[in-house]
Amino acid sequence: MLHLAPEAPRAPQAPQQQDVTPQPDPGPPGRRHRHRRVAAGVLEPRQLVAALPEAVRKLHPRVMVKHPVLFVVEVGSVLTTFSAVVSPSVFTWLISVWLWLTVVFANLAEAVAEGRGKAQAESLRRTRATIVARRLRTWRVGIDRRDWVEERVPSGELRPYDFVVVEAGEVIPGDGEVVEGVAAVDESAVTGESAPVIREAGSDCSGVTGGTAVLSDRIVVRITSRAGHTFLDRMIALVEGTSRQKTPNELALNILLASLTVIFMLAVVSLQPMAEWAGAPQTITVLVALLVTLIPTTIGALLSAIGIAGMDRLVQRNVLALSGRAVEAAGDVGTLLLDKTGTITLGNRQAVDFVPVKGVSREVLADAAQLSSLADETPEGRSVVVLAKDKYGLRERAQGELQQARFVPFSARSRMSGVDFAWQGGVCRIRKGAGNAVVQWVTQCGGSVPDDAHWIVDSIAAGGGTPLLVAVQDGTGTRVLGAVHLKDVVKPGIAERFAALRAMGIKTVMVTGDNALTAKAIAAEAGVDAFMAEATPEHKLARIREEQAGGNLVAMTGDGTNDAPALAQADVGVAMNTGTSAAKEAGNMVDLDSSPTKLLDIVEVGKQLLITRGALTTFSICNDVAKYFAIVPAMFGGVDGYRGLEKLNIMGLHSPTTAIASAIVFNALIIVALIPLALRGVRYVPASAHALLRRNLGLYGLGGLIAPFLGIKAIDLLIQYIPGI
């Protein structure tokens, strides 16, 4: 019998009184998730205004040098500004101003993306306050509660392995694990969800987050993090973008853009000798303008914003990405491994029926099962007591009602629980536990196991349930009374979500420590593609390495300490927020909602990130073609020996100076126009690579060609009336 207890149906109800601990104001109804709607919608002008000071601060060369394309534009802006000061003209000043605006607009995209994260971080920071913790100065397992010595200390003084007591109405002072008790916890300050969750000692739902509030009961928490290194602190740092590292794909694209910039720089430098030979030397302003319009400034300006926005979209879906690399890898995941208990199923196996052997009534079996479960503090044991009470009217006995009774608590070693008590001048022993453990106990005591007991165990397991045998030893001998049927419930709607993952080309594999019959039944009900039964942490790790050796990117979801090695090995390791601290430390993502099907959203965001990057790269490169047709004819169209280039002036632009100025203005404005798309992302629709390439070329490639022709011509019509142009 496993100690597994996610959200239980018997969860204690939240008290009617309100929590007196100061909490952040959630605002009126409908406002709590307002930041999510803003992030997914159209860019608001006030967001641009708020981000403008940060965009200007990013003009510092030490910041700009990290973006090679934009650094070249900034250097060009300095050169044209110097030229405008030395030889002032309307044209030179116009080009200089718009070149600076190009750099500012490029920084604006990144500043807006970071600003959204900082706004979310600020809302999280408001939940982090100095809390007075009730620390246990001496604590050990089994000590009587009356002997605990409490001391009140600020939460900032807590250290790992400190133990604190938290009761209803109090705030958990730091990250940790519940080591005693069970309580309903309000995690809305972190997850945004108002429904309380159950946190219980000895289960995979023992992890708690500092700053969340206990709504009922009393728990003892072992602190697992130092002040300033809590889960909430990590969330704040990550959503602010301060810890975001460039992904391999992003680094590779940066190298490509830098290479193109060097190539075009050499091309522009080589034009000047040709122009001087033709008797039409070009000014620094014109050469810089040509370079800026030819290099991929659009994607160079938006690349960082795309990456930040990808992680931001995961935060909007209540997933904390601890690594930008993982977000990118999620877009190419081919295999998904899911832990069964607490991930695919609710995880709290409940007693649903008593199945007696021949000659034994259900009432007798229920009575014996309840007696043997009084010392079983696991969720399964408590559910047996409740089922016997609800179904047969058997109330839970107090220990005083059993004369000289000796209770046998459940242990992982014996895999049984029970009770020994005086009965009819002798001793009656009742045991309940795993089938093979009870069979071994009965055999050692000289009893026999009837054939129908084996049949009952096999039939319950074949149906996806977990059988627990109940046996008794009294004056008449040792015998099996029957079995308790435990059932783990599959989470609603999960089969449809797995079908959607299958449509994306992702193979789902359920991993469980259950026997093959139970695993097969759960796998069929959940709709996974394959399953691994009786899986140990080593088996999970070996399966992931096997998939990776075959060239697949692997995602793993889990919540227990035994899932930690597999989560660390997986390309995308999604730990459930309800899980243990070890699981959350090992994964590179944390699902705050603890929904296994959240990986569908993670994969969509990953694919959306890659598609957005590819779409805007296609648009940017095609964009440069039109600007070539605007500037090159303007530079050499009227020069003897190059008059054939006049035929390239297909837009019929007014003059060389208006053509160059129009291209520079359009180059700056298109960055601002594409910021909403970079932040929102290109919509992902499941399709083949060929279909995605065709859509990219048809929509963003063709759009990148046509839009500049129309935009540059429109700007040319406007600025031709400016005196001196």
How far CA 426 is from CA of 441, 476, 479, 481, in Å, comes to 19, 11, 16, 19
* Catalytic choice (175, 204, 312, 339): 339
Q: Tell whether 432 is in a known binding site.
A: yes
Q: Tell whether 376 is in a known binding site.
A: yes
C-alpha 102/C-alpha 254 separation (Å) is 18
C-alpha 76/C-alpha 338 separation (Å) is 53
- Rounded to 10 degrees, the C-alpha dihedral 470/411/375/456 comes to -20
C-alpha 344/C-alpha 64 separation (Å) is 47
Q: Tell whether 58 is in a known binding site.
A: no
Q: Tell whether 144 is in a known binding site.
A: no
Q: Tell whether 380 is in a known binding site.
A: yes
Q: Tell whether 44 is in a known binding site.
A: no
Q: Tell whether 559 is in a known binding site.
A: yes
Q: Tell whether 134 is in a known binding site.
A: no
C-alpha 286/C-alpha 95 separation (Å) is 9
Place of tokens 């520079």: 664
C-alpha 43/C-alpha 66 separation (Å) is 26
Give the phi and the psi of residue 432 in degrees, each rounded to 5. Answer: -140, 135
C-alpha 316/C-alpha 598 separation (Å) is 12
C-alpha 408/C-alpha 376 separation (Å) is 8
Active site residue 175: no
What's the gap between Cα 415 and its chain centre?
36
C-alpha 173/C-alpha 160 separation (Å) is 12
Strand stretches in 94-186, DSSP E: 132-138, 149-154, 163-167, 176-180, 182-186
Encoding tokens for residue 3?
């100690």
Q: Quick check: 439 and 451 in contact, CB under 8 A? A: no
Residue 150 DSSP SS3: strand
Q: Tell whether 129 is in a known binding site.
A: no
C-alpha 220/C-alpha 242 separation (Å) is 34
Q: Which residues are annotated binding-site positions for ATP?
A: 376, 380, 410-417, 432
Q: Which residues are annotated as a binding site?
A: 376, 380, 410-417, 432, 559, 563
Give the active site residues: 339
